[in-house]
Chains A and B, each alone.
Chain A
Amino acid sequence: MFELWVEKYRPKRLKDIVGQDEVIEALTGFVEKRSMPHLLFAGPAGTGKTTTALALANEIYGSEELVSANYMELNASDERGIDTIRVKIKDFAKTKALGEVPFKIIHLDEADNLTSDAQQALRRIMEMYSSNVRFILACNYSSKIIDPIQSRCAVFRFNPLTDDAIIKRLSYIAEQEKIQIGDDGFKAIAYVAEGDLRKAINILQTAFAVAKGKISPEIVYKISGLAMPEEVNDIIRLALEGQFLEARTSVRNLMINYGISAEDLVRQLHRQILQYDGIDDVKKAEIVSYIGEIDFRLAEGGNGDIQISALLSKIASIGRGSHASVG
């Protein structure tokens, strides 16, 4: 997939990774000694966790062939549960490492998406194969990883990249690809990327593919609001006007046909409500408090479309100025 700049410009060596100097220094030591403990990489999206794991494997194994034989990547949120993960790990781990290498590496991404029961099972799996396999677990929040796993790993924190670091990397890519983009364009990308370099590079390339000529801040904002702010605003307007059925139909359409997740939709509704002109602050505050409640219910495992419909009916009711409540 070298058509994608995130792949094309992914650093191959540890020293080329930007913005994580302390982490890189420590890991370089592991490469020199050709020995390492299990690792836990914690940090927000797009800060270099996967790239670092890949670069580490590259430097330890030395050749592409050995990397593909001895390095396996799994994504916890894309696998069918801990049982499938166990089977894959087992199949990979039980064969001897290929070539003159000290151990195999399994990189398990989004490990914090595993339930604590699944993490307990993972802990046992880690122990079972620790003689010839090192695990690199990656997560957004290390607090969501159970203590027994944390205590078996060396924990490394990845910081969100500064706007300057992001713009520096974007400028390099822009130069290589001969893109027309000014300071305002770079700043806009850094603003919407919020410290996520992968997102920044994806936006840069998408903007380049869409823009005819120079990349303007307008294009950048348009692309990054991919769940279409106008549609979200329409839904809010419909609900406030009491056209509940129409609002519910739009929500279902976004979720079923466009695959937008309930969590993302709630986040967007939240953002748009705060900017919405047609309602006073008292109502805004009340709606926001209910959005928070629905966000929590979703995290508890609620059904996306039911919970968001409940939210819409609340917005409709608050919009009218009078409402009943359960509590």
Chain B
Amino acid sequence: MLPWVEKYRPKRLKDIVGQNEAIEQIMKWIEDVRAGKKVKPLLIYGPAGTGKTTAAYAIANELGYDIVEINCADLRDKEKLNRVLGGLGSFSLIEESPRIILFDEVDALPAEGKTISSLLKEILSRGDMPVVMTANDVYEKHMYGIRNLADTVEFKKLGVRDIVKVLSKIATMEKVNLPEEAIKKIASGSDGDLRSAINDLQSLAEGSADLVNYYGKIFGQRDREADIFRVLGSVFSGKYCTRTRFLTSTLDMDQDMFMRWIEENLPIAIKDPPSLSLAYEYVSLADIFRSRIVRTGNWKLMTYINEFLTLGVCSAKSLSKSSGFVKFKFPSIIKELASTKEERAELKDVLRKIAKNTHTSSNVVRKEILPLIAALCKRNKDLMRKIARDIGVEEDQLESIIESIKI
């Protein structure tokens, strides 16, 4: 049975969802190819599952060209690279339909990256084959050379609304009966990755995963908790504090996450304000050291972070009189940040667009201009529509942001 991601892969550019600006840019590029102009390679970049490779195939389809796909993750050794180079050279000997070359995942190339640049230059110098490349991140250092050679097109993370739309359509076509809630859950859990969302939908529908399991996958990390609970138990016992610093070495968790676990449970384990404040002081210091390491690259300081979070917090607890059984909690802020990620990203996007239109920054917009727009629009829906159009956002997007502002 065909995977749904293949079955429902759009054949035409206009059927790709959520990338209107990018598609417009691509259409122009295609027109140039059609007009026989010499075009730069097209570099499509963006997060996974947003339609980059689909777009490349759709481009070939629109042009009526054959596509030669080269997955750059396979180009890592010299031998393969030479084979590909040789293969490309032979194309011109055979008369057949014109070709487009797709370099998939160019950012997967080794950091020295010269190979691809020279390969590209060779293809470009012949000027007879348009080149399309895809990548997740083009702002990495080793991408500099490629980025400079190409026309870049950004694919954005898909919004929950767009993903829900696609999933619902597929569910209808496949006659799958799923509650709307489940579809929304898949969409919001996919973090803007349509491919993974469609895969999840299919595995749900085909019974290879049940709903309970699915939710478990999102919020899970259950195998990890056993360990962290043991470490927390020792740190918050307030005893043998010097020894607690060794516990984290076997903990399968990064330091930031560990800090979040400690912080979440501080006020649960330590009740009296002086000890709590002392413990918080250590967490605050750990946090500052983390930032210092990022800024200075001085990794030796890592050991202090660990000691603040274990020895420091444990010692604060040892001063505290509170005792008794403590039920530790998962850091709720992680969940909150994750569940409001979409909204916060939307807000940020709208703030920036308004900033561009008012010659200010998103900071000023958030503090002064958004409240003003909210005050103006609450009485006047026509004005809201006009402003949404002027700044280039969806009406309901602006409306939901305005409603969240108390004025």
Q: Which residues of A contact B (CB under 8 A)?
A: 1, 3-4, 6-7, 45, 50-51, 54, 73, 75, 77-78, 80-81, 83-84, 87, 109-110, 198-199, 202-203, 205-206, 209-210, 223, 226, 228, 242, 244-245, 248, 252, 256-259, 261, 264, 294, 297, 300-303, 305-307, 309-310, 313-314, 316-317, 319-320, 322-326
Contacts and interface: CB of A to CB of B under 8 A. Distances in A.
Given A259-B344, A323-B274, A226 B367 contact: yes
B115 interface: no
Interface stretch (B17-25, B81-89, B350-358): B350-358
B399 interface: no
* A203, A323, A325: most-surrounded residue (chain B CB, <10 A): A323
Contact of B273 (A205, A228, A256, A316): A316
A324 B317 CA distance: 12
B276 interface: yes
A201 to B, nearest CB: 9
Contact of B284 (A264, A306, A320, A323): A306
A292 to B, nearest CB: 14
* B147, B268, B364, B379: most-surrounded residue (chain A CB, <10 A): B364
A293 B168 CA distance: 52
Contacts, number: 162
Given A209-B379, A244-B267, A310-B283, A300 B364 contact: no
B274 to A, nearest CB: 4
The list of the 4 closest CB pairs from A to B, nearest first, reads A301-B291, A317-B277, A209-B375, A310-B284
B280 A326 contact: no
Interface in B259-273: 259, 263, 266-268, 273
A97 to B, nearest CB: 21
Contacts of B364: 45, 198
A294 B283 CA distance: 13
B387 interface: yes
A306 B359 contact: no
A40 B238 CA distance: 56
Contact of B359 (A50, A203, A303): A50
B301 interface: no
Contact of A259 (B312, B319, B366, B391): B366
Decide if the interface of chain B is mainly helix, strand, loop or mixed: helix
B363 interface: yes
A80 B359 CA distance: 18
B108 interface: no
Given A3-B383, A209-B375, A257-B340, A242 B361 contact: no
A326 B336 contact: no
18 contacts: A3-B383, A54-B359, A78-B352, A78-B361, A199-B368, A202-B372, A206-B407, A223-B371, A244-B276, A256-B337, A257-B340, A259-B366, A264-B367, A294-B284, A306-B287, A313-B266, A322-B274, A326-B312
A313 B371 contact: no
B139 A307 contact: no
Contacts of A252: 333, 336
Contacts of B337: 256
Nearest to A90: B148
Contact of A313 (B277, B358, B372, B387): B277
A6 B358 contact: yes
Given A4-B372, A77-B363, 19 more contacts: A7-B358, A54-B359, A73-B356, A75-B361, A77-B361, A83-B139, A109-B359, A198-B360, A202-B372, A252-B336, A257-B340, A301-B292, A301-B295, A306-B287, A310-B283, A313-B273, A317-B274, A323-B274, A326-B285
A314 B280 contact: yes
A314 B274 CA distance: 8
Contacts of A45: 364
B372 A80 contact: no
A4 B277 contact: no
Contacts of B283: 306, 310
A78 B358 contact: no
Contacts of A73: 356, 359
B288 A205 contact: no
Contacts of B211: none
A71 B263 CA distance: 48
Given A110-B361, A257-B340, A305-B333, A300 B292 contact: yes
Interface string B366-388: 11110111011001000100110
Contacts of A202: 368-369, 372
A226 B274 contact: no
Given A1-B390, A81-B139, A209-B376, A320 B291 contact: no
Nearest to A115: B295
Contact of A306 (B263, B360, B386): B263
Contacts of B357: 1
B278 interface: yes
Contact of A324 (B139, B274, B288, B371): B274
Contacts of A198: 360, 364, 368
Nearest to A260: B366
A109 B358 CA distance: 13
A41 B220 CA distance: 52
